[in-house]
Chains A and B, each alone.
Chain A
Amino acid sequence: MSESEPVRVLCMEDDVGVARLLERRLSRAGYSVDLANDGEQGLIMWAAASYDVLLVDHEMPVYSGLEVIRTLASRGPLPPTIMVTGAGGERVAVEAMKLGAGDYIVKDADGGYLDLIPAVVERLLQQRRLVDEKERAEEALRKAHDELEMRVKERTAELEQANQKLSQEVAERERAEKAARASEERFRQLADLLPQTIFEVDLEGNITYVNRHGFEISGYTQEDIERGLSALELFCPEERERVQRDVQMMLMGGIVHDNQYQALRTDGNTYPVLTYCAPIVREGETAGLRWIAVDITGQVWAEEVLRDEEEMSRAQYKGVPVPTFTFQRKGAHLALVDYNDAADAITGGTIAKFIGTAARDMLRHRPDILEELWRCFRERTTIERELRYRFEPDGEEKHLAAKYAFVPPDLVMVHTEDITERVRAQEQLSRNAVELKRRNEEVRQLAYVISHDLRPPLGNIRGFAQELARAMEPIGSAIEAASPHLDEEQRSAAITALGMDVPEALGFIDYSLTRMDHLTGAVLQLARMGRRELRFERIDMNSLVEATLNTLAHQIEERQVEVRVGTLPEVVADRTAVEQIMGNLLNNAVIYLDPARPAQIEVTGECTGDGTTFRVRDNGRGIAEKDMDKVFAPFRRAGEKDVPGEGMGLAYVQTLVHRHGGRIWCESEPGVGTTFFFTIERCTPDGANDTGAR
């Protein structure tokens, strides 16, 4: 309700004259007045606009004044309302007042009540203003009170919170202090335990703390620190300038790359250290430096050794005559990363262009080698194999013994050995062996055929010689009968021919045939020995030698031979052959004894690298140097021809020893004695020897 706007009054009055009068009086008093002719219109107008005061006549058509008041009262608190009634309308007035009307006026006949109306309206408005003001004051008061209460509550809560926080902080600080004390103690103990020097210096460079190891290694004591000790004293004089410079650098946050210095002890000895240092920060300010000095005497020494070794192995690797190719894993590939001088040579210098090349590309034509490289890498294993490789497109294909070696963490070194010459030599050797075998077979066959085929013609010569001798008998008697008819010359010639020439011729034929027969027989025997199938079995050599000696018992006894037999190793061989070998050697030993001294024969044997070696030694007449090469030759007999035989014994023996994959040789000195040695290869009883091809 603003002071500037006029107070609006709605008058409901069915009497137009009265209404006009009411309007005039109220307008004169300064009010804005609207008129309604009946209750219905009045209610519509009241609802449509905003009025400050309502003036209602009771006696109206449609709605009575009371009904209007009742309607408005049912909608909410009644506005300042004045009920106007006719005379004797006090009952209506009371009813209206009960419904909330502010006042009432009773109409008088002369219209004097009209003069009263502005005053009544003013009073009512005054009343209403007072009520409003009171309500506003009360409202303000209540508001202020609420506000106050709220602020008190808030403040209380704040205080409680602050209080709680404070006590938490106190507790926390106590805990932290305790932990800090424990931590410092722990770190101090830890620092003392560390086998490295730790020390702290203040900004002037004076040492404020040294751990136990630091004292021990430097030779200084706590007293030295308390007296004042510069950190520079811990270093050799010639290092101090650098140390100082580096410290400045580090204090400014720089990085020192060479942090290795020569430290000095109180006893004058020095040792190398690696130092690490960091500023000590207290309350945001740098208060000094904390150092760790690691004694690297051992490491330096080890590094030197390692460096030497590395250089040495590098030099060896480079210079070693084994071509070596080094591959390293690069991502998904194995790439050639290095090679040595020998590798350069064997490839004719072509390897250089493959450095950094993936093995897959280098060995595009050799998937087998690539596969082995990878297998070596994957299985971290060493692979050895022989392979053929052509290093240069037009070069010769080389035979290589290759060794793929995995070198942690990611290298594969391929060592190759050029065995081309060896392989060729081996191939030549095996070709030679085949050729030799073939020729041997030919010779043997020839020997067999010669001896075999020679016999029939020999037999014929012998047969016809005897036929001739037989035929001479009738001729002899005929000549004898005819002799009186012959002259002296004829007779003498005939007698000489029959009695001397013919028998002599036949005698020589016979002798030659016998000789020839023995020779062919011997060759046949030798050929048969070379062809006979050997049956290998385990042989107790001691009992075999004993049995052989028994067959010679008569001669041994007769010549008073002293026989010594050592403990002989067992062999796997053909029994008949070994019996013949031993029999021949022992027989020779007995036969060729020297009657000039007491005879001694000794049989010994021992296991050697690839078999068993036997030795038959005698102190017989010995073999002259010039005869040594005839010893094992067929039909050759050394020395005096006073002993019967074909000279085939040792030829047989040699054949048999050879057939066992063994060797036979002899040492001899005339007048001192002879020693025969022979070896029997180590075999398994089924005849397969353990040491190689026969």
Chain B
Amino acid sequence: MSQPHPVTILLVEDDPGHARLIEKNLRRSDVAGDILVFGDGRQALDYLHSEGDWAGRECAWPLLMLLDLNMPVVDGYQVLQSVKEDNETRRIPVVILTTTDDRREVTRCYDMGCNAYISKPVEYDDLAEAVRRLGLFLSIVAIPDRERV
């Protein structure tokens, strides 16, 4: 079950080291598509809506978003809300990838429409393993393509 076009992964994570580690481990699981890293929510939303730095540049499709919650400028909750409330973007799968494992936050994110919630394991080995499996998962799930409304 391969995609007609490999999925582009938007990695929204304010910690560049962390983002790099995730990217490395995703690659190890043979994720082939582009991995775009955004340091805050604002940039990610700008990319989706071709605004700001991304003005005039069409964003890639199909898309999948890996979203951290605690970020400066526009945080993960706001990004999630914006994506899920906008008819153009609401079908983009959003996977929350964060250190928080508070039950209330998990519930809140699902209530807001996130598609999966992953608590980052504290141990690096575990994290690496989790991200690798996520990569494997992402390589087999079907991602909806752009649908103009």
Answer whether A466 and B122 are a contact pair too, CB < 8 Å, given A456-B99, A457-B17, A460-B17: no
Contact of A452 among B18, B99, B123 (CB under 8 A): B99
A511 at the interface (CB under 8 A from B): no
Contact of A463 among B70, B99, B128 (CB under 8 A): B128
Contact of A457 among B15, B70, B122, B127 (CB under 8 A): B15
A455 / chain B contacts, CB cutoff of 8 Å: 99, 122
Give the interface size bracket for B toward A: 10 to 19
Q: Could you tell me which residues of chain A, from 451 to 468, have a CB within 8 Å of some CB in chain B?
A: 452, 455-457, 459-460, 462-467
B100 / chain A contacts, CB cutoff of 8 Å: 452
Answer whether A456 and B21 are a contact pair too, CB < 8 Å, given A462-B124, A463-B124, A466-B125: no
**B122 and A459 contacting across the interface, CB-CB below 8 Å:** yes
Q: How many A-B residue pairs have CB under 8 A?
A: 39
Complex CA–CA separation, A462 to B15 (angstroms): 14
A466 / chain B contacts, CB cutoff of 8 Å: 124-125, 128
Closest residue of chain B to A517 (Cβ to Cβ) is: B122
B24 at the interface (CB under 8 A from A): yes
A460 / chain B contacts, CB cutoff of 8 Å: 15, 17-18, 21
A459 / chain B contacts, CB cutoff of 8 Å: 18, 21, 99, 120, 122, 124, 127
Answer whether A456 and B127 are a contact pair too, CB < 8 Å, given A464-B21, A467-B24: no
Q: Which of B70, B122, B125 has the most CB of A within 10 A?
A: B122
Q: What distance in Å separates the Cβ of B29 from its nearest Cβ neighbour in chain A?
A: 15
A463 / chain B contacts, CB cutoff of 8 Å: 17-18, 21, 124, 127-128
Complex CA–CA separation, A464 to B21 (angstroms): 8
Complex CA–CA separation, A455 to B62 (angstroms): 33
Give the interface size bracket for A toward B: 10 to 19
Complex CA–CA separation, A464 to B24 (angstroms): 11
A462 / chain B contacts, CB cutoff of 8 Å: 123-124
A456 / chain B contacts, CB cutoff of 8 Å: 15, 18, 99
Q: What distance in Å separates the Cβ of B122 from its nearest Cβ neighbour in chain A?
A: 6
Complex CA–CA separation, A467 to B128 (angstroms): 10
Q: B11-45: contact bitstring with A at CB < 8 Å (1 yes, 0 no)? A: 00001011001001000000000000000000000
A457 / chain B contacts, CB cutoff of 8 Å: 15, 17
B15 / chain A contacts, CB cutoff of 8 Å: 456-457, 460
Q: B57-83: contact bitstring with A at CB < 8 Å (1 yes, 0 no)? A: 000000000000010000000000000
Q: B121-136: contact bitstring with A at CB < 8 Å (1 yes, 0 no)? A: 0111101100000000
B21 / chain A contacts, CB cutoff of 8 Å: 459-460, 463-464, 467
Q: What distance in Å separates the Cβ of B98 from its nearest Cβ neighbour in chain A?
A: 10
Closest residue of chain A to B98 (Cβ to Cβ) is: A456
Q: What distance in Å separates the Cβ of A517 from its nearest Cβ neighbour in chain B?
A: 6
Q: What distance in Å separates the Cβ of A474 from its nearest Cβ neighbour in chain B?
A: 15
B17 / chain A contacts, CB cutoff of 8 Å: 457, 460, 463-464
Q: Could you tell me which residues of chain B, from 74 to 129, have a CB within 8 Å of some CB in chain A?
A: 99-100, 120, 122-125, 127-128
Q: What distance in Å separates the Cβ of A674 from its nearest Cβ neighbour in chain B?
A: 34
Q: What distance in Å separates the Cβ of A468 from its nearest Cβ neighbour in chain B?
A: 11
Q: A427-466: contact bitstring with B at CB < 8 Å (1 yes, 0 no)? A: 0000000000000000000000000100111011011111
Q: What distance in Å separates the Cβ of B132 from its nearest Cβ neighbour in chain A?
A: 13
Q: What distance in Å separates the Cβ of A467 from its nearest Cβ neighbour in chain B?
A: 7
Closest residue of chain A to B24 (Cβ to Cβ) is: A467
Q: What distance in Å separates the Cβ of B128 from its nearest Cβ neighbour in chain A?
A: 7
Complex CA–CA separation, A119 to B145 (angstroms): 197
B-to-A contact residues, CB < 8 Å: 15, 17-18, 21, 24, 70, 99-100, 120, 122-125, 127-128
**Besides the known contacts A463-B127, A466-B128, 10 further A-B residue pairs in the complex with CB atoms under 8 A apart:** A459-B18, A459-B122, A459-B124, A460-B17, A463-B17, A463-B124, A463-B128, A464-B17, A466-B124, A517-B122
Q: Which 4 A-B pairs have the closest CB atoms?
A: A460-B17, A463-B21, A462-B124, A463-B124
Cβ contacts A to B, 14 pairs, < 8 Å: A452-B70, A452-B99, A452-B100, A455-B122, A456-B15, A456-B18, A457-B15, A459-B122, A460-B17, A463-B18, A463-B127, A463-B128, A464-B17, A517-B122
